[in-house]
Structure 1
Amino acid sequence: MSPLHSVDALFNAAPCGLLTAGIDDVVVHVNDTFLLWTGYTREDIVGRSFASLVAAGEQTVYATQFQDELWLRKELKEVSLRLVRADGTDLPVLVNAVITADEQGVRLAVFDASNRRDFENEMLAAKRAAEFSESRVRVLQDAAARFLAASSEEELATMLVEIGRSAFGAIDAAVVAYDPEGVKFQVVVGAQHQPMLDAIRASRPAGSKALSPDELFIIRDIEDAYSRSEEVGDLMRAARTSTLTAISIPDGDAILGAFVCLFGTPRDIDQQYMELYRALARHAGLALSRIRLQAELRYAAEYDQLTGLVNRTTIDERAADAFEEAHTTGAPVSLIFLDLDGFKAINDELGHRAGDRVLQDVASRISEVLRREGDTVGRFGGDEFLVVCPGADAAASRAIAERIATAVRAPLDWLPNGFGVTASIGIAVADPGGPTPINAETLTRMADDAMYEAKKSGKDRIAIAA
């Protein structure tokens, strides 16, 4: 047999590591392949136990599952272990082992499993990525469906808080909404976190009311919190919060609010977390923008743009609602109709800007003197206003009208001398139990007629419809 094909040559050049050991696990022979893979010399290996080459974390597995099973079954195949190379790094291997025929030793074949381990890790990472992707899709689908059903900003914020706690395993969450003036409102689950959120907001650079678009603000642990300020660190520790994340809720380049999640133990904020966090914030931004637009449209449909009072359509509806309630309760309902005296001269001689300002001031004054809950004032048209007073009889409605007349009559300091306004007021009272039932439309016309009687009588007067 040629030296190339001698037994020793085949043993040393085998494409796997080969070892023999005694029944005491001490290595007797080792081939060159094993030495090449591990970086040891033959003197390093021969005379030491194979167990001493096994990584510390797998010593128990080797001593129990490997050795016990081997002597019980006489042969094992593809046992996954980690060995320690001479430089201290791990070598993942698969080991085949067989007890010798005379049962005086063990023959071991060791296969380098680095590529297999890398492949398995890649497969595991791919599986986890797929699972996360599926989970992310479910979270976003659920969020989109729930956000679509939200009819108010507060309802949407509460939904986002609930989703944050569920999707990320946060111990708590919060939503802070902004408007052009700053913080509009805040939804916090867990009142103990309110001071902490205030302190964190205060710790941001002066003048920064909100996060930048897509900015992710992270406090990774208590040490990070104390590096920002002692107050933030103390509050996070008191609230037993280790990690905090916050992200802007965007609408294009505008910032509508911030979404905050809090964790009781330090949380690794990885790329997957950030992707889902940003996606939820963007979904919330779209929903919040929709809700605000719908609110603006409702406001435009229900309110007078100049005075901020409800408009004619809405005040008519309030009057109809008051009548419906009156028929249920049997209580009276009053309507107070007023027209401004002297307004035409201001509008004609000082201009529409002055006229508009008078209407705004008068609207504010009337609103301020309506002390009863449920009373509503609306701009009926031009310089006419209608006040709906549920449950008010003739005496109560007259007292309200007198307060209105006094408030309107007070001088407007910014008007030039010789200009001013007063109110001619008509009152109509309906008694649902009376002999002649009437409706809101009829009562409004009666109050309007009474107002004209007051104006004919000299203006700045109050008349009650008979």
Structure 2
Amino acid sequence: MTEPSKHAWFQGAPCGLIGTSLDGLILEANDTLLEWTGFSRPQIEGRSFTSLLDPGSQLFYETRHAQALPLQGQLNEVALTMLCADGSRLPVLINAIRDAAAGVNRIAVFNASGRIQYERDLLHARRVAESSEAQVRVLQEVSRAFGVSATDEDVAQSFAEVARTAFAAREAGVLLLDDVGELTLVGGTNPLAGLVPPIVSLRNSPDVVVVDDETATARFPQLAAALHETRLAALSVMPLLDADRRLGILVCFFGRARQFDDQFFDLQKALGRQASQTLVRVRLQRRLAFLALHDQLTGVANRQLLEQSLEDALEAASAHNTPLAVMFLDVDEFKSINDRFGHAAGDMVLVELAVRLGAGVRSEDVVGRIGGDEFVAICANADEHAATTIAERILRLTQEPIAIGEGLISASVSVGISMFHPRLHSRPTPEQLLVRADRAMYESKGAGKNRATFETPPP
């Protein structure tokens, strides 16, 4: 390769290229790096490489990698942030080789601005925390704790415990928004409970908010009084967010006055982001698990969950010698409803009937849709008298007119009931109980519909 072609390759390379002296002064930089940073060649040549980095990256590079390069001879994929001529920041990855014979360090700079926000923030949090072994342990501990979290309560409790230790707080609490938009303490503690909500004026802040004694006295008199009563010097409120959707907050309570520096805020944000993402993951997994076991139209149990629930109910009935009732319910004249009002109206009827079936059974009973317009109710510890009461209540509720866009629809169900008494009957299979209940349901159909019929197996 001729010298001009080498020069053209160097200047037009798809990454930034820098040559420095062994002590880090820039000797040359290619056009790609100048374009990315906005510096001219005279502005960049002759200055130290570390002067191109933001303060956090300077500290990170000088305390770790500047010493490692002479010893190891090379650096690979070091994450840094460069300062551009206009003051903006450019996240980069660098590879470097030390050529002692030539008296130069050769550095390749790769633009990492396309990385997702989470990766950039986490790398930055790690750079900030690198100077403190305790803070590195914090990030490791919270990653471990969140990795095994299975519920909102697990995430909240782990987050509160890690935050209390990481920020040397006297106490910490995680409050999550419930279904009606109210904040509820789910993990940790709230020493201001019953005195004044510490988040009335702070809950909607998009960023970390710190309130010390002076700020509280000037802006939040009630909060100031509560802080004095509980001997607290300050508190911080960290929002937990999923994009723009609020999930809750972390509140740290401090018994002594302290300085809240950039390191404090950066670590709170990093931990808050991890907690938020873990909450989203846990809730998504819970939602997926729910969808896997529930009918997507009506929300009641699907066939898979019904079969498992029936197997469990049979096991419990046998173990405790308690009766079990299984009801098979079929909507009367459902085809006529679909033909007359359309399938959308038919779906509305099924959804409303599922709600009424849930209201007709007891709280511990299981209602599911086994397919089409057929439902099943599993009533543990229910004898004939209890089953009759439940069935009559269902029949009464399902006869009430159902409002749809076109008006009112009258619907009813036919019910078949099979019973299992451990002292009287040999244990059936779940399928046998369902078949007997289904057979009894058809007897209800044949007897005029809108009624319940028992089918009791022989001893």
Q: Quick check: 1:249–1:282 contact (8 Å CA) kept in 2? A: yes
Structure 1 residue 408 displacement after superposition:
0.4
Q: Structure 1 residues 416, 255: CA separation in 2 closer, same or farther (over 3 Å shift)? A: closer
What's the counterpart of residue 358 of structure 1? 349
Amino acid at match of 1:246: V
Q: Is there any run of 5+ residues in structure 1 with no aligned partner, and where?
A: 1-128
For the 8 Å contact 2:356–2:397, the answer to whether it is kept is yes
2:395 to 399, 402, 405: 405
Residue equivalent to 1:145: 144
Compute the displacement of 1:187 (Å): 2.1
Alignment partner of 2:271 out of 256, 261, 280: 280
User: Does residue 219 in structure 1 map to residue 195 in structure 2?
Assistant: no
Q: Which structure features the higher share of helix residues? A: 1
Q: CA deviation at 1:369?
A: 2.3
**The residue matched to 2:264 in structure 1 has which SS?**
helix
- The residue correspondences of 1:288-303 to structure 2 (distance < 5 A) are 288-303=279-294
Q: Deviation digits for residues 41-68 of structure 1, max 9, x if unmatched?
A: xxxxxxxxxxxxxxxxxxxxxxxxxxxx
The one of 377, 385, 391 equivalent to 1:395 is 385
Residue in 2 that maps onto 1:434 = 424
Q: Cα 1:364–1:145, aligned 2, differ >3 Å: closer, same or farther?
A: same
Indicate which of 186, 195, 201 corresponds to 2:199: 201
AA paired with 2:201?
A: S
Equivalent residues of 1:173, 1:189 under 8 A apart = yes
Change over 3 Å in CA distance of 1:174–1:132 after alignment to 2 = farther
Mapping for residues 101-116 of structure 1, pairs under 5 Å: none
- What pairs with 1:257-336 in structure 2 (closer than 5 Å)? 257-336=248-327
1:236 matched to 2:234? The reply is no
Cα drift, residue 306 of structure 1: 2.0
1:160 and 2:163 matched:
no
Instruction: Tell whether the 8 Å contact from 2:153 to 2:187 is kept in structure 1 after alignment.
Output: no
1:414-425 equivalence runs, <5 A: 414=404, 419-425=409-415
**Residue identity in the other structure for 1:332:** P
8 Å CA contact 2:401–2:408 kept in 1: the answer is: no
Matched AA of 1:139: V
Per-residue CA deviation, residues 216-268 of structure 1 (Å, 9 max, x unaligned), is 11102x22112222222222222222111111223344433221101112221
CA spacing shift, 1:190–1:287, aligned 2, 3 Å: closer
Cα shift readout 1:50-100 (whole Å, capped 9, x = no counterpart)? xxxxxxxxxxxxxxxxxxxxxxxxxxxxxxxxxxxxxxxxxxxxxxxxxxx
Of 170-179 and 137-146, more deviation after overlay is shown by: 170-179
| Identity rate, percent | 36
For residues 406 and 129 of structure 2, what CA distance do their matches in structure 1 show? 75
Moved more, 332-341 or 362-371: 362-371
- 3-state DSSP class of the match of 1:405? helix
Which of 430, 443, 446 aligns to 2:433? It is 443
Which SS does the other structure have where 1:447 is aligned? Answer: helix
The TM-score normalised by the length of structure 1 is 0.66
Aligned partner letter, 2:156: A
Look up the equivalent residue of 2:448 and give its one-letter code. Answer: G
SS of 2:192 mapped into structure 1 = helix
Equivalent positions of 1:342-353 (< 5 A) are 342-353=333-344
**CA 1:153/1:380 → structure 2, altered by over 3 Å: closer, same or farther?**
same
Shift of 1:336: 0.8
Secondary structure (helix, strand or coil) at the match of 1:182 reads: coil
Residue equivalent to 1:186: 185
One-letter identity of the residue aligned with 1:284: A
How far did residue 195 of structure 1 move?
4.0
Cα distance change, pair 265–338 in 1 and its aligned pair in 2 (3 A):
same
Give 1:245's match in structure 2, choosing from 218, 236, 241. 236
Q: How far did residue 189 of structure 1 move?
A: 3.4
Question: Retained in 1: the 8 A contact 2:196–2:226?
Answer: no
- Matched-pair contact (CA < 8 Å) for 2:171–2:190: no
| Gaps in structure 2 of 5+ consecutive residues | 1-127
SS in 2 for 1:358: helix
Corresponding residue SS for 2:382 = coil
Alignment deviations for residues 330-367 of structure 1 (CA, whole Å, 9 cap, x no partner)? 11111011111132222222122211221121111121
- The match for 1:459 among 441, 449, 459 is 449
Distance in 1 between residues matched to 2:153 and 2:193, nearest whole Å: 17
Amino acid at match of 2:209: F
Write the letter of the residue equivalent to 1:219.
V
Q: Distance in 2 between matches of 1:400 and 1:187?
A: 36
Distance 1:135 1:191, change over 3 A: closer
SS in 2 for 1:259: strand
In 2, Cα distance between the equivalents of 1:188 and 1:435?
Answer: 49
SS at 2:328's partner residue? Answer: strand
CA root-mean-square deviation = 2.2
Contact 2:178–2:184 under 8 Å retained in 1: no
Q: Distance in 2 between matches of 1:374 and 1:180?
A: 22
Residues 394-415 of structure 1 show CA distances to partners (whole Å, capped at 9, x for unaligned) of 2211111111011101122447
**AA of the residue aligned to 1:376:** V
* Displacement after TM superposition at 1:278 (Å): 1.4
For the Cα contact (< 8 Å) 2:402–2:408, is it kept in 1? no
